[in-house]
């Protein structure tokens, strides 16, 4: 395909989908007493249709960044723009996938997947038809009538991804989605995400503490400094989409090099390019 270089993520023509400028966020603890700066003067652009991974040491404010873009919390200062318009609160244009799956335990798998469609009043027959398509996409049609507690962690997270995609957001925000899944399932889920994303071509912001995962999935990898987080480096991952399978990347030199470079940056040894 002629579009391969662009597909690899190095393209610089793509428009900015999310623009973050000078973002500072204070995190206030539950009891309202303790307060610390989670993000400090962070500037970042997420391009239209790109898959951007964000890594950083724990406590660098990665999850805070997701929560801010999702509209769950207000910045202290700075601006957050989606398609050039300020983000005011949560909205269906930004889907979120959480580490804790966040499926409704009293709803079946199908009803969880079609939740967003029900919220906007789509009739049952129509939303079930769409829901089944998405269950097919994640190979879980047979689980349609099960309840979340009957599924494994990996299956739950696939349902959560299907729920987000079925709602047709413009951006999918993923907050360490595979961190609670066992290692085997995690690799399968990562490969599945590559496949699904290639089909949908959404803009994805994927937060993780795993350097390997960030490099495997991302068109670019944003490395944040230890908290309060700001952007330390942005690395292009020029590995074509179709090569992104663990069986192939295991002894891929470029993958190994990039992984090492990002790892050095995260651990503080490397210098920004």
Partner 1 sequence: MSVGAGASFRSGAVGQVAFRRIERGVLGAAGVAGLVLLWQAAASLSGVPRYFFPSPRDVAGAFTVLLEKGILPAYLADSAGRYLAGIGLGTAIGLALGLALGVSRRAASMFGPLLNFFYAIVEVAWIPIFVIWWGYGLRTILVALVYVVAFPVLFNTQAAVRATPRVLIDAVRALGASPRQVLGEVIFPAALPGIITGFRVGAGFAFRGLIFAEMIAAKNGIGYLILTSAANHATDRTIAGMIVVGTVWLVIDQLYLRPFERVTVERWGVLRHAEE
Minimum distance from residue 98 beta carbon to partner 1 (Å) = 5
Which CB sits closer to partner 1, 44 or 70? Answer: 70
d(CA 107, CA 222): 36
In sequence order, the β-bridge partners of residue 168 are none
Measured CA to CA, the distance from residue 69 to residue 91 in angstroms comes to 10
Residue closer to partner 1 by CB (options 72, 246) is 72
Residues contacting 178, CB < 8 A, separation 6+ = 157, 185, 186, 189, 190, 208, 213
Q: Does the footprint of partner 1 cover residue 120 (CB under 8 A)?
A: yes
User: 84 or 105: whose CB is closer to partner 1?
Assistant: 105
Separation of alpha carbons 147 and 202, rounded Å: 28
Residue of 197, 262, 188 lying closest to 50 (CA atoms): 197
Rounded-to-integer distance, Cα 183 and Cα 99, Å: 15
Is the separation of the CB atoms in 202 and 242 below 8 Å? Answer: no
The residue among 175 and 219 lying less far from partner 1, judged by its C-beta, is: 175
Q: How far is the CB of 140 from partner 1 (least distance, A)?
A: 17
C-alpha 161/C-alpha 163 separation (Å) is 5
Nearer to partner 1, 116 or 154 (CB): 116
Give the per-residue contact string, 48-77, with partner 1 (x = CB under 8 A; - = no): -------------------x--xxx-----
Q: Which of 22, 90, 240, 268 binds partner 1 (CB under 8 A)?
A: 90
Least Å distance, CB 163 to partner 1, is 7
Token digits of residue 260: 């090492």
| 76: nearest Cα among 37, 18, 120 | 37
State yes or no: residue 147 binds partner 1 (CB under 8 A).
Answer: yes
Per CB under 8 A, the segment of 96-104, 131-139, 189-197, 231-239 that binds partner 1 is 96-104
Q: How far apart are the C-alpha atoms of 160 and 108, rounded to whole Å?
A: 12
Binding string to partner 1 for residues 168 to 207, with x set by CB under 8 A, is what?
-----x----------------------------------
Q: How far is the CB of 225 from partner 1 (least distance, A)?
A: 26
Whether 112 and 159 have beta carbons less than 8 Å apart is answered as yes
Binding positions for partner 1, 16-55, rule CB under 8 A: none
Positions in the binding site for partner 1 (CB under 8 A): 67, 70-72, 90-92, 94-96, 98, 100-106, 115-116, 119-120, 147-149, 163-164, 167, 173
């Amino acid at each position: 395909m002629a579009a391969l270089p662009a597909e690899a993520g190095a393209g610089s023509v793509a428009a900015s989908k999310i623009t973050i400028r000078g973002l500072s966020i204070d995190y206030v603890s539950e009891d309202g007493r303790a307060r610390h700066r989670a993000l400090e003067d962070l500037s970042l652009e997420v391009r239209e249709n790109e898959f951007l991974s964000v890594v950083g040491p724990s406590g660098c404010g990665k999850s805070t960044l997701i929560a801010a873009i999702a509209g769950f919390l207000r910045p202290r200062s700075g601006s957050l723009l989606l398609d050039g318009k300020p983000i005011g609160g949560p909205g269906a244009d930004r889907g979120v996938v959480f580490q804790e799956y966040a499926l409704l335990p009293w709803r079946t798998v199908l009803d969880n997947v079609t939740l967003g469609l029900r919220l906007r009043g789509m009739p049952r027959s129509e939303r079930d038809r769409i829901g089944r398509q998405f269950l097919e996409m994640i190979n879980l049609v047979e689980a349609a009538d099960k309840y979340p507690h009957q599924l494994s962690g990996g299956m739950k997270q696939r349902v959560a991804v299907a729920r987000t995609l079925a709602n047709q957001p413009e951006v999918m925000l993923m907050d360490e989605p595979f961190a609670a899944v066992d290692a085997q399932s995690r690799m399968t889920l990562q490969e599945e995400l590559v496949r699904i994303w290639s089909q949908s071509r959404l803009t994805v912001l994927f937060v993780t503490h795993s350097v390997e995962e960030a490099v495997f999935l991302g068109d670019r990898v944003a490395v944040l400094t230890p908290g309060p987080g700001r952007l330390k480096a942005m690395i292009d991952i020029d590995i074509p989409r179709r090569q992104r399978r663990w069986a192939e990347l295991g002894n891929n030199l470029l993958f190994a090099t990039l992984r090492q470079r990002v790892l050095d940056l995260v651990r503080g040894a490397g210098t920004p390019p």
